[in-house]
Amino acid sequence: ARAAMHQPDSPASRSGTPRLRKRDSSAPNTPRAPPCGLGGVGRRTTFREDVGHAAAETYLVTRLTFILLRSLGVGSRWICQLLALLIYAVLLMPGFIRVGYYYFFSSQVLRSIVYGDQPRNRLDMYIPTDRSKPNPVVVFVTGGAWIIGYKAWGALLGRRLAEHGIIVACVDYRNFPQGTISDMVTDASEAISFICDTVASYGGDPNQIYLMGQSAGAHIAACALLEQAVKESQGEEIYWSVTQIKSYFGLSGGYNMQNLVDHFHKRGLYRSIFLSIMEGRRSLPQFSPEIIAKKLTHGAIALLPEIVLFHGTGDYSIPSSARLDT
């Protein structure tokens, strides 16, 4: 996997100099946390602080979930599926405990690095033991049906890639009903900007940054990438350049939301909830990477990095037929 990351062309070959503007650190909506832990100079959060933050997030998500259920009148089928998921999680608990121990106690994991001022604007950084030279970087946007996504879901991926000399930044973002799809895309873009600006402080190579997303995270990351390409091709002011991304890897993502409404409804993500997440039926084309990609100008297409999509044929959450088709 690491060897394959050196194949795409350099960013300079995809475009000229973009109108890239550094964020004003004094702006209230663009905070930048100082580097911390390994390779950094700031204060690393303690275990007690992390547990407190996790407890607060759990309480918030639970409260928002009950508000969502009460306001949308979700039926017993969804509740039964949630209970089945919890039982499944309990059965997998021995494996979770091992990963959890690594997540909370490994010195190679920098937890809850703040990248923005919105709720859940945090990311976890997995640092390789070998830091003799700048390491490639993967920005990973986790899945979770746009409702239960969480940065810790990427712990196993972060651990394995870090063992192969790759820094992994697992991004957290606002979930529904804390935010809708535009908020999630904004959060992902903010996190990418943060990584591009600061990854050298963590021992990363700013010329080898790769974007990856899984399931709903693949959809969110693709939306952020295409949105940025459109802005950059139109000469708008930007905070990170698409040319800073070497490749995009989409894992089991859905890229045409119009074709997935009925499928998700049958799977328990009811139509009313999904359309609320996507900000209404009229917004589905705006947040469908397949539709957006077909309308891109030649200038925007020229900016895009290599795009690699993976999808298992046995995936029932998002069928493999939902892969990007352009």
Q: Is it the case that residue 67 has pLDDT exceeding 90?
A: no
315 catalytically annotated: yes
| pLDDT at 98 (0 to 100) | 83
Reading the block at residue 279, the tokens are 């900000």
255-309 pLDDT, tens digit per residue, is 999 999 999 998 888 899 999 999 999 999 999 999 999 999 999 999 999 999 9
Cβ(229)–Cβ(304) under 8 Å? yes
| pLDDT at 42 (0 to 100) | 43
The pLDDT > 70 percentage for the chain reads: 79
Cβ(128)–Cβ(162) under 8 Å? yes
| pLDDT at 70 (0 to 100) | 62
Residue with more model confidence, 3 or 219: 219
Domains of the chain, first to last: 46-314 (3.40.50.1820)
193 catalytically annotated: no
| Alpha helices (runs of H) in 112-209, residue ranges in sequence order | 155-163, 181-198
91-132 pLDDT, tens digit per residue, is 877 777 888 888 988 999 999 999 999 989 999 999 999 888
In the structure, what pLDDT confidence band is assigned to residue 41 with cuts at 50, 70 and 90? Answer: very low
Helix and strand counts by DSSP (H, E) for the chain: 10, 7
141-169 pLDDT, tens digit per residue, is 999 999 999 999 999 999 999 999 999 99
One of 201, 315, 317, 321 is an active-site residue; which one? 315
Cβ(214)–Cβ(274) under 8 Å? no
Q: Is it the case that residue 63 has pLDDT exceeding 90?
A: no
Alpha-carbon span 184 to 221, nearest angstrom: 9
Average pLDDT over residues 40-55: 65
193: CB partners within 8 A, 6+ apart: 23, 239, 240
Q: Is it the case that residue 25 has pLDDT exceeding 50?
A: no
| pLDDT at 88 (0 to 100) | 79
| pLDDT at 307 (0 to 100) | 95
Please state at what angle helix 93-105 crosses helix 155-163, rounded to 10 degrees: 60
Rg over CA atoms, the chain: 19
| Alpha helices (runs of H) in the chain, residue ranges in sequence order | 47-72, 76-91, 93-105, 155-163, 181-198, 216-233, 261-267, 271-277, 289-294, 298-303
Q: Is it the case that residue 53 has pLDDT exceeding 80?
A: no
- Across all residues in the chain, what is the average pLDDT? 84
Query: Which of 25-29, 51-55, 194-198, 239-243 is the least confident region?
Result: 25-29
| pLDDT at 24 (0 to 100) | 54
Cβ(244)–Cβ(303) under 8 Å? no
In the structure, what pLDDT confidence band is assigned to residue 11 with cuts at 50, 70 and 90? Answer: low
Q: Is it the case that residue 54 has pLDDT exceeding 50?
A: yes
Q: Look up the pTM and report it.
A: 0.77
Alpha-carbon span 310 to 182, nearest angstrom: 24
One of 215, 241, 247, 276 is an active-site residue; which one? 215
| pLDDT at 52 (0 to 100) | 76
- The CA-to-CA distance between both ends of the chain, in Å, stands at 26
